[in-house]
Amino acid sequence: MAADTSSSPPTLGQLQRNLSQQFQRLYREQLGHAPGKITCQILEEKLLLIVEKSVTKPEQLLIEEGQAELAEQVRDDLATALRPQIIDLVETTLARQVEDILTDSTLATGRTSIVVILSAPPDVRAAKNQD
């Protein structure tokens, strides 16, 4: 089977940058919040994201008012509400089915982790400068 060079797959780095940018946009559009750096790694059929400064202003306010448990519940509810959009974003970008999503946040550090299990590793091409 001949390779189709007219639409070769992106490199791993290109996919990871694209996903980081799309997650930045998702946070801005859906939560009205600009998170800090988003680290994205694709390891075989696993997509790993670390979102810095992911705590929204309402969550910060709840924490400041001594309502940490309520802030945690809000965070869990937000993760649940964003789940369908995360699935759509990942499946569209990587052309792979999402089998599972695991999320966790630490409000004290302001970090959120997202682990997405894919049906198969995404198609990527080797970067030109690989040794």
pLDDT value for 2? 47
pLDDT score for 1: 45
The CA distance from 127 to 131, in Å, is 10
pLDDT band at 126 (very low <50, low <70, confident <90, very high): confident
| Confidence at residue 7, expressed as pLDDT on a 0 to 100 scale | 77
SS3 annotation, 70-106? HHHHHHHHHHHHHHHHHHHHHHHHHCCCEEEEEEEEE
pLDDT digits (tens, 9 = 90+) for 83-120: 999 999 999 999 999 999 999 999 889 999 999 999 99
pTM of the prediction? 0.86
**What band does 127 get if pLDDT is binned at 50, 70 and 90?**
confident
Model pLDDT for residues 3-14, shown as the tens digit of each residue? 444 578 899 999
pLDDT at residue 3, as a whole number: 47
Alpha-carbon separation of residue 18 from 14, 25, 69 (angstroms) = 6, 11, 34
Model pLDDT for residues 14-57, shown as the tens digit of each residue: 999 999 999 999 999 999 999 999 999 999 999 999 999 999 99
